[in-house]
Amino acid sequence: MTPPVRVSVIGIGCGSPDHLTLQAVRALGSLDVVVLTDKRRGDDPLVHVRERMLAEHVAGVQTVVVHDPPRERRAEHVGDQRSYERAVEDWHDARASAYADALAPYRGRQVGFLVWGDPAFYDSTLRILGRVAAAGLPLDIEVVPGVSAVQLLAARHRLVLNDIGAPITVTTGRRLAEEADRGTDNIVVMLNRSLDAVELGDDWHIWWGANLGTAHESLLSGDLRTTAPQIDGERNRVRAAAGWVMDVYLLRRRA
């Protein structure tokens, strides 16, 4: 029987080489090949971060670059939740077929995917590999956890994310307003295209961080209403300086 492709899905932290765990470094050392997903057709700064990491720990390892299939983002096609989910489904199908093509030659070999942060937070690699396997390519998958942006945010602001015995909600900028309307009062927000929190009104405190763990890291905290304009300015400044910006924040409703 032909053996499965052995796949390591490795959380690599959010940009700092210091946040690669020892387990991740060991896993990198066992790879025959690494699949890198390029979202910008040859000029993806996050691919360059991964390449630097590989050069430091496993110089010379073979890499296969998969160009990310285009994703529908036009507001008129993804405005409501259903059409958004359908657009993501289509994109995942296309990605699964690109991953299947990249993986098929490596049966019996060890292939790595370097996942930003931790594979369990807003990352589709495991879901897409699930589709690849369901479509008929046998995979043997191991997951190596990584340091997530959520943990970095908490560490940088010296925060415990939950109040004593209380829940934490983690959601996206897109769904923040509905979460706040529902009365949720302790919310970590990821995947932001802008500072969606500005819509929320006066009763909130924000702890914000961008490009955490990198040379362009930026942190701000304070009353939401007064801090929001500063955050907007910082987002633009960081994007211009680093070539990319990713930010995450905790919002807590004041008692």
Ligand X SMILES: C[S@@+](CC[C@H](N)C(=O)[O-])C[C@H]1O[C@@H](n2cnc3c(N)ncnc32)[C@H](O)[C@@H]1O
* Binding site residues, ligand X, CB under 6 A: 14-15, 116-118, 121-123, 148-149, 190-192, 209-213, 246-248
Token pair 């008692």 is found at 255
The residue among 137 and 147 lying less far from ligand X, judged by its C-beta, is 147
Pairing of strands 33-38, 169-172: unpaired
The residue among 137 and 151 lying less far from ligand X, judged by its C-beta, is 151
Instruction: Give me the least distance between CB of 115 and ligand X, in Å please.
Output: 6
Instruction: Give me the least distance between CB of 217 and ligand X, in Å please.
Output: 7
Instruction: Give me the least distance between CB of 136 and ligand X, in Å please.
Output: 27
The residue among 37 and 137 lying less far from ligand X, judged by its C-beta, is 37
Would residue 92 be called left, alpha or beta, if left means φ above 0 and alpha means ψ between -120 and 50 degrees? alpha
The residue among 112 and 209 lying less far from ligand X, judged by its C-beta, is 209
Instruction: Give me the least distance between CB of 2 and ligand X, in Å please.
Output: 32
Rounded to whole angstroms, the Cα distance separating 92 from 5 reads 20
110, 8 in Cβ contact below 8 A? yes
Rounded to whole angstroms, the Cα distance separating 37 from 20 reads 19
Query: 37: closest CA among 104, 101, 88?
Result: 101
Instruction: Give me the least distance between CB of 246 and ligand X, in Å please.
Output: 4
The residue among 23 and 62 lying less far from ligand X, judged by its C-beta, is 23
How would you write 196-229 as a 3-class SS string? HHHHHCCCEEEEEEECCCCCCCEEEEEEHHHHHH
